[in-house]
Structure 1
Amino acid sequence: MKIRQTLLVLTALAALATSGWAAEPSVISPKLDADLSAWSFKNSKEKSQWAVGFAKLDATNEAKLAFSDSGEGAAGLVNKTGGGVDIYTNEKFGDCTISLELMVPKGSNSGIYVLGEYEVQILDSFGKAKVGPGDLGGLYGASAPLKNAAKKPGEWQTIEIVFTAPKFEGDKKIANAKFVKVTLNGEVIHENVEMKGPTPSGVTGKEAATGPLMFQGDHGAVALRNIQITPAK
């Protein structure tokens, strides 16, 4: 009898696992291989400046990144120079938490597009007395950070984004997308900010219940590492 009960319990647990239910949400780290097979490009891949490797501030020009195939710590996704193309994950997400580290050279500009459509700005905003929606951590065109938490160019910075996707009944949107909380370098810079629509220059320009994670590559150089997406339960 005990053997039979054990088998039944194991069968039930296996069924739960295959159905997608889990006690804790799983963390997804998009694969970073040399050919970026887990990623797609918004425009021509031939124009891409993205590579997997290691970056630091250029010793001779603080407005540039120095890129290497080897280095200390975790390899990351690096847009080596500006003027390239945007890159986004093949996998799509809905409600989720996104965490990563970022680093920019002096004066650089990029962006994190949640679901491929809602931009959290990346910018060298170090030392600014007043910040707006276009500064580091700003929700572009929607909301300025509550404070300037930006570090110096060339320093690694941490950001965590807790996000809920827009909700639909058929083709009708019944709830806006929302940035529940955005934390930059340990400082809360947004709470409960609804997005009435998508940010310009997203993957499709249209809202949907799921979408990829996109990084802007057609502006300036940027380095990103320890990218993690945790879908909500």
Structure 2
Amino acid sequence: MTAVDEGFAARLRMGTRDEHERAERSVFVEALLGGGLGREAYAGLLAQSYLFYGVLEDAGESWRGDPVIGGFVIDGLLRRGALERDLAFLLGPRWRDGLSALPATQSYVDRLEEACFTDRAAFVAHHYTRYLGDLSGGQVIRRRMQEVFGLSEDGVRFYVFDRIARPKPFRDHYRSLLDGAPWSDAERAALVEEANTAFRLNRAVFDELSGVYC
């Protein structure tokens, strides 16, 4: 199959593979999955995640009903409420009192605010990198956090998509949305570039978390 014949979802996956793998191999992620970090490091990851998911999901609301990308705004993917419950469980009811953005997180938030409310391709790029990752590699993190910290549901609700019964068919549906959207060639190129930016921004957050907890 040639690049011309294959769907855009496959091209996007291939075009972001290197940055995706670099993020997965970060020192922080490997230490967390290896059981070498404390529960506070995991809570720190969720706290930083809460800051950028809030912006991404606000952007999603602004695109709801859009004729081109409104279909990507799927309520079953939304994570903000689950993150709030996890953080309350892990850090207590006043968890917001200690919430502050790391510099890398602030850069991530700034990029989301800059691009995702006005640019369809940029919004979908960030949406793709977050939620498809949560539905695949995020499930590995969930299982490891349950094993390492003895969690059941509380504390890992962020990774539980209870409104998506079967992740594999859903991921196929999501890829069909990517393939079916009427992207121009310029939008496809911009979307791949922005998705790589998203992976780099995410890796920078991991790197700063590593400096705090490793």
Q: Which has the higher contact order (CA 8 A, sep 6+)?
A: 2
Please state which structure has a larger fraction of its residues in helix: 2
Q: Classify the TM-score, shorter chain.
A: under 0.3
Please state which structure has a larger fraction of its residues in strand: 1
Q: Which has the larger radius of gyration?
A: 1
State the TM-score, normalized to the length of structure 2: 0.27
